[in-house]
């Protein structure tokens, strides 16, 4: 995997985390649906961080990050994001 692709992914994930952090900060979860939104955004945030961490660990161990794991991670992020949008 080319380094530029990885850099783009890392920037995308960081942007996603910033955006979800803002949403988490703004939400005031008192009702059940707001609590669900909060939980799903936080879960998405954590998964994004796991992808970042996985890329870092792979590069550190001089290994190519697995495309399958990355795809699974992004799919999870997308599923969580879409379910959040549907919920709200």
Partner 1 sequence: MTDQEGEGGVAGRVAGWVDSRLGLSHPVLRPVPQYALNPFYWLGALAVVAFVIQGVTGMILMLYYIPSPTQAYSSTQYIFQSVTNGRFLQTVHLYTAYAMIMLAFMHMMRGYFVSVHKRPKEVMWVVGMLMGFVTLGFGFTGYLLPWTVVSYSATHVGVGMVNALPQPLSNLLNFLIVGSGGDAGELLRFFDLHVVILPAVLLVLLAVKMYMLEAHGVAEPTSGASPEAKAKTLPIFPDVTVYVLELSLLFGAGMLLISALFPLNLPAEYSAITAGQATPQPDWYFLWIYQILKVSVFDVGGGLAAALSVVTLVFVVLVILPFIDRGKTRAISRRPVYVTLGLIFVGELVMLSYWGYETPGATIPTEQAALVVGGTALLIALGSLLAYRVLYSRAKVRLQTVPAARLPRTEVRSGLAFTVLVAVGAVAIGTFLNSIVGIALGDYSLASVGLFVMSGTALALDVLGSVYLIYRLDLRTGGIRRKVKALEVGWRE
As to burial, measured by CB atoms within 10 angstroms (0-12 exposed, 13-18 middle, 19+ buried), residue 52 is middle
CB of 60 to partner 1, least distance (A): 7
Two tokens, residue 3: 């380094």
Chain residues 49-78 in contact with partner 1, contact rule CB under 8 A: 49-50, 53-54, 56-57, 60-61, 76
Scanning 1-88, the segments in alpha helix (DSSP H) are 3-26, 32-60, 67-87
CB of 61 to partner 1, least distance (A): 7
Binding site for partner 1 (CB under 8 A): 28-30, 32, 35-36, 38-40, 42-44, 46-47, 49-50, 53-54, 56-57, 60-61, 76, 80
């Amino acid at each position: 995997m080319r380094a530029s692709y990885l850099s783009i992914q890392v920037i995308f994930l960081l942007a996603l985390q910033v955006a979800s952090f803002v949403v988490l900060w703004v939400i005031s979860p008192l009702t059940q649906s707001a609590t669900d939104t909060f939980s799903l955004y936080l879960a998405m945030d954590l998964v994004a961080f796991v992808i970042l961490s996985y890329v870092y660990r792979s590069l550190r161990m001089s290994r190519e990050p697995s495309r399958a794991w990355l795809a699974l991670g992004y799919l999870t992020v997308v599923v969580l994001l879409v379910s959040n949008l549907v919920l709200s």
